[in-house]
Chain A
Amino acid sequence: MKAIVKISNLSKTYNTGDQALKNIDLEIYEGEILALLGPNGAGKTTLISTICGIVSASSGSVTVAGHDIVSGYRITRDLIGLVPQELTLGAFDTVWNTVSFSRGLFGKKPNPAYIEQLLKDLSLYDKKNNALMTLSGGMKRRVLIAKALSHEPRILFLDEPTAGVDVELRRDMWRLVRGLQESGVTIILTTHYIEEAEEIADRVGIISNGELVLVGDKKTLMHELGKKQLILDLKHPIVDIPESLAKYALEISDDGNQLTYTYDTHSTRTGITALLQSLNEAGLSMKDLKTRQTSLEEIFVNLVRSQA
Chain B
Amino acid sequence: MNFQAIRVIYKFEMLRAWNTLLQSIASPVISTSLYFVVFGAAIGSRIEQVEGVPYGLFIVPGLVMLSLLTQSIANASFGIFFPKFTGQIYEVLSAPISFFEIIVGYVGAAASKSLILGTIILITANLFVDLEVAHPVWMVTFLILTCISFSLFGFIIGLWATNFEKLQLIPMLIITPLVFLGGSFYSVNMLPPVWQTVTLFNPVLYLISGFRWSFFEVADVGVGISLMMITIFLLSCLLLVWWMFKSGYRLKQ
Question: Contact residues of A with B, CB < 8 Å?
Answer: 14-15, 49, 52-56, 73-75, 77-78, 80, 82, 84, 86, 88-90, 92-93, 97, 100-109, 147
CA distance A92 to B2 in the complex (A): 26
Please, which residues of chain B bring their CB within 8 A of the CB of A52? Answer: 90, 93-94
Q: Are B96 and A106 in contact (CB under 8 A)?
A: yes
Residues of B contacting A: mostly: helix
Q: Are A108 and B248 in contact (CB under 8 A)?
A: no
Q: Are B88 and A105 in contact (CB under 8 A)?
A: no
Q: Are A106 and B95 in contact (CB under 8 A)?
A: yes
Does B43 sit at the interface, judged by CB under 8 A? Answer: no
Q: Are B88 and A88 in contact (CB under 8 A)?
A: yes
Q: Are A102 and B91 in contact (CB under 8 A)?
A: yes
A54, A56, A73, A101: which contacts B8 (Cβ < 8 A)? A101
User: How many Å from the CB of A211 to the closest CB on chain B?
Assistant: 20
A and B contact pairs by CB, cutoff 8 A, 18 listed? A15-B253, A52-B94, A54-B94, A55-B252, A74-B96, A75-B96, A82-B90, A86-B87, A88-B90, A92-B19, A97-B15, A101-B12, A102-B91, A104-B4, A105-B5, A105-B97, A106-B4, A106-B95
User: How many Å from the CB of A17 to the closest CB on chain B?
Assistant: 13
Does B232 sit at the interface, judged by CB under 8 A? Answer: no
B4, B12, B90, B93: which contacts A107 (Cβ < 8 A)? B4
The interface on chain B, measured as residues whose beta carbon lies within 8 A of the other chain's beta carbons, has a size of 24
Please, which residues of chain B bring their CB within 8 A of the CB of A80? Answer: 94
User: How many Å from the CB of A22 to the closest CB on chain B?
Assistant: 17
Does B92 sit at the interface, judged by CB under 8 A? Answer: yes
Question: Contact residues of B with A, CB < 8 Å?
Answer: 2-5, 7-9, 12, 15, 19, 86-88, 90-97, 248, 252-253
Q: Are B87 and A107 in contact (CB under 8 A)?
A: no
Q: Are A89 and B88 in contact (CB under 8 A)?
A: yes
CA distance A88 to B159 in the complex (A): 18
Please, which residues of chain A bring their CB within 8 A of the CB of B252? Answer: 54-56
Q: Are A104 and B5 in contact (CB under 8 A)?
A: yes
B2, B5, B12, B94: which contacts A82 (Cβ < 8 A)? B94
Q: Are A107 and B94 in contact (CB under 8 A)?
A: no
Please, which residues of chain B bring their CB within 8 A of the CB of A74? Answer: 2, 96
CA distance A223 to B248 in the complex (A): 45
Q: Which residue of B lies closest to A75 (CB)?
A: B96
Please, which residues of chain B bring their CB within 8 A of the CB of A109? Answer: 4
CA distance A90 to B13 in the complex (A): 13
User: What 12 additional pairs, Cβ within 8 angstroms, besides A54-B252, A88-B87, A147-B91?
Assistant: A54-B90, A54-B93, A56-B248, A73-B96, A74-B2, A74-B96, A84-B87, A89-B88, A100-B8, A102-B91, A106-B5, A107-B4
User: How many Å from the CB of A302 to the closest CB on chain B?
Assistant: 32
User: How many Å from the CB of B4 to the closest CB on chain A?
Assistant: 5
CA distance A203 to B97 in the complex (A): 32
Q: Are B96 and A77 in contact (CB under 8 A)?
A: yes
User: How many Å from the CB of B34 to the closest CB on chain A?
Assistant: 29
Please, which residues of chain A bring their CB within 8 A of the CB of B88? Answer: 88-90
